[in-house]
Structure 1
């Protein structure tokens, strides 16, 4: 029997798939009816909450042209978990075509189902300069 994967490892795997635009693998890591919310923070536009349907989120990733490079660099990861539920908080910096675009914090809620961690929700902040 293999050792149980840690929640932070599941989040790192999610970002590996994200950077490869492997939306099929990303979707397999999520529960049905996942909740995706973002708090957009802009000095010029203020604060705004955006809810994104999962299909729209995955489609937007799949449509990123191959000519565009992007990377979400996780800076610091903190995990709180019990046997069956976990939260993973990860501060990050986002880069597109090697240029910094924004930073923030991701908060993943994961549930342990079918011998693996599955993502139940992702809430993030996006701080724009």
Structure 2
């Protein structure tokens, strides 16, 4: 009986893994789309586009390091969305150099190194760390925490 159970698990586990891989591939694409939509909305200066991307209690934070004194600064999501809407289309250009996605059920993280340009001039670079939650079948951004430094 133990041999039969082992044989069945060896046959069915690869099938389950294939299903999980296919499903996780779709979720990976959906998470990437939510993150990329944020930067598309910023570039278009479209605050309406941004509003739908966040959970109601979303947070936006920055890790600041001023002469070795590390602190966390927080901005209200509403203030951020409003400031994007007041920008000139094309002025805000955050360029990602990669995106590392991790997903477990309805929770996802995205690690995105970036360079930020304002009116075509590079201002800073760093990394964004996103936490997303799948609500009603849609990946919503719950937190963004980033680093900012002068680029080399």
TM-score greater than 0.5 by the shorter chain: yes
> What's 2:74 paired with?
51
> What's 1:126 paired with?
148
Task: Label 1:127 to 1:41 Cα distance change in 2 as closer, same or farther (>3 A).
Answer: farther
Residue correspondences, number: 125
RMSD between superposed Cα atoms in Å:
2.0
1:81 to 103, 121, 136: 103
Distance, in Å, in 2 between the alignment partners of 1:119 and 1:20 is: 19
Distance, in Å, in 2 between the alignment partners of 1:46 and 1:121 is: 23
TM-score by length of 2: 0.73
Tell me, yes or no, if structure 1 residue 93 matches structure 2 residue 115. Answer: yes
1:63 to 71, 77, 86: 86
Distance, in Å, in 1 between the alignment partners of 2:91 and 2:81 is: 17
Q: Which runs of 5+ in 2 are unaligned?
A: 1-25
TM-score by length of 1: 0.85
Distance, in Å, in 2 between the alignment partners of 1:97 and 1:88 is: 26
Q: Deviation above 3 Å: which 4+ runs of structure 1?
A: 45-48
Give the conservation status (yes or no) of the 8 Å contact 1:77–1:90.
yes
More helix by share: 2
Tell me whether 87-96 or 7-16 shows the greater mean CA deviation: 7-16
Tell me whether 54-63 or 70-79 shows the greater mean CA deviation: 54-63
Q: Which runs of 5+ in 1 are unaligned?
A: none
Tell me, yes or no, if structure 1 residue 22 matches structure 2 residue 51. Answer: no
Distance, in Å, in 2 between the alignment partners of 1:35 and 1:94 is: 20
Higher CA-based Rg: 2
Distance, in Å, in 2 between the alignment partners of 1:70 and 1:125 is: 17
Distance, in Å, in 1 between the alignment partners of 2:49 and 2:33 is: 15
More strand by share: 1
